[in-house]
Amino acid sequence: MTLRLYESDPYLKEFDATVTKVEGEWVVLDRTAFYPGGGGQERDQGTLAGLPVLGMRGKDEIAHRVPGHAFTVGDKVHGTLDWENRYALMRAHTGEHLLFSSLSRRTDMELVKISLARERKVLVVKGHLDWGIVREAVQEVNSIIAQGAKVSSHLVDRESIGEGGPRAKLDRISERMVRVVSIGEHDHAACAGVHLGDAREIGMLLVNKFTSAKPAGDWEIEFLVGPEAVRAAVDLSISALMLGERMGALPQDSLTAFDNRERELNRAREALKVYGRTALASLRPRELGPWKVFTGSFLALDRRLVMEWANELVAGGGSVAVLVCQDERTFLVLARSPDVDIDCVTILREALAPYGGRGGGKPAFASGGTSDQVDPGALIDGVLRLLK
């Protein structure tokens, strides 16, 4: 069995051990300060006798993957942890306990998954959540961090764990004695991971993303701790101040100002659709040989509306529709009635080619566009020349 030094002293940065087994690249030690990972937290990184440890496995006997080693049973080795990485993960794990328990006090939640890595720290949960609940929970966590709370661990008989006791998924624990980590009076949870000695060392916790996680769970909560959380908080607060300034509102009124702008934009969009339908309905065809050709160009009109009307315009037979709508790019729609013998896809692609545009569709209906704005009148004229 490997003595797990990280349980009794998570602040141990270096250690000496004896090799007890060698299996190719894998080396088993009599003791280790390397946390092998688990409970959502990734494994430690570091070196054994100066060689990188690239993997870990095992529970009772913990093996370290050390490519290129020449160890034999009985060798004494010196291990060194990547302490910056370990300490960041300790902050994350202790912060995760506080965040989940704080959220749980405000709403019924089930923990689905934890993923704690240096690059990204995530909780996936089931239950009702909104930004208001998240904000209250984060404020409480940071209040606990500011006041400080001692972190301790002790073993509890699984038979004594019941309702009102520590958080524990007993179906995932095989041992009779369960290690429970306590953060002051704020959280008690079964956990085999490494933690800080005091919540104050987290420094700060910030939720930086809150999105749907279906079908795995209801919500994915991404968070930051320590200096990364401070930097992100400064960046986000400055962005909020700049947004409020651009919207002509105080920072605390930015959301209200945004909602007002959104309502104005929706009204403008609806008005534009009414204008668009009126403009499209008023189009009159020109004669081009045996066909009636409807042409028109429209600024900032919804593309779906233009495509719907292209089909409407050619429904009467003997007709072709050549419609352009323009915003930051130029979008062309070409449609024909079933009795008009032309290939819309071929003509559309030839018309767009001089502008570097592209498109596709079917012989009776095609659409495509350019990467920037072009003269809509020149584009329509090009299509008409091809039709002739």
Indicate if 92 and 237 belong to the same structural domain: yes
The CATH code of the domain that includes 377 is 3.10.310.40
Indicate if 151 and 212 belong to the same structural domain: yes
Q: Which of 227, 259, 281 is the last residue of a domain?
A: 281
C-alpha distances (whole Å) from 185 to each of 6, 108, 140, 150, 266 are 23, 20, 13, 9, 49
325 phi/psi in degrees, rounded to 5: -125, 145
Q: Is 372 left (phi over 0), alpha (psi -120 to 50) or beta?
A: beta
pLDDT computed for residue 362 by the predictor: 95
Task: Specify the pTM.
Answer: 0.74
Q: Are 2 and 28 in contact (CB under 8 A)?
A: yes
Report which of 297, 294, 304 is spatially closest to residue 269, judged by C-alpha positions.
Answer: 304
Indicate if 99 and 234 belong to the same structural domain: yes
pLDDT computed for residue 93 by the predictor: 95
- Using the structure block, give the residue that is written with the tokens 């030690």: 29
Indicate if 40 and 156 belong to the same structural domain: no
Q: Which DSSP state fits 329?
A: S
Indicate if 225 and 256 belong to the same structural domain: no
The CATH code of the domain that includes 109 is 3.30.980.10
In this prediction, the residues of the chain whose per-residue pLDDT falls under 70 are 162-165, 170-174
pLDDT computed for residue 192 by the predictor: 85
Alpha-carbon span 277 to 274, nearest angstrom: 5
| Number of folded domains that form the chain | 4
Indicate if 124 and 233 belong to the same structural domain: yes
Indicate if 152 and 202 belong to the same structural domain: yes
Indicate if 144 and 223 belong to the same structural domain: yes
pLDDT computed for residue 184 by the predictor: 94
Alpha-carbon span 178 to 37, nearest angstrom: 17
Q: Are 113 and 172 in contact (CB under 8 A)?
A: no
Domain that holds residue 268: 248-281
pLDDT computed for residue 174 by the predictor: 65
- Using the structure block, give the residue that is written with the tokens 């240096």: 118
pLDDT computed for residue 164 by the predictor: 65
C-alpha distances (whole Å) from 126 to each of 110, 218, 244, 306 are 5, 5, 33, 42
Indicate if 113 and 229 belong to the same structural domain: yes
Q: Are 28 and 58 in contact (CB under 8 A)?
A: yes
Which pLDDT tens digit goes with each residue over 262-302? Answer: 898 889 888 888 888 888 889 999 999 899 999 999 988 88
Q: Token pair of 213, please?
A: 């996680």
Q: How many CB atoms lie within 10 A of CB 48?
A: 23
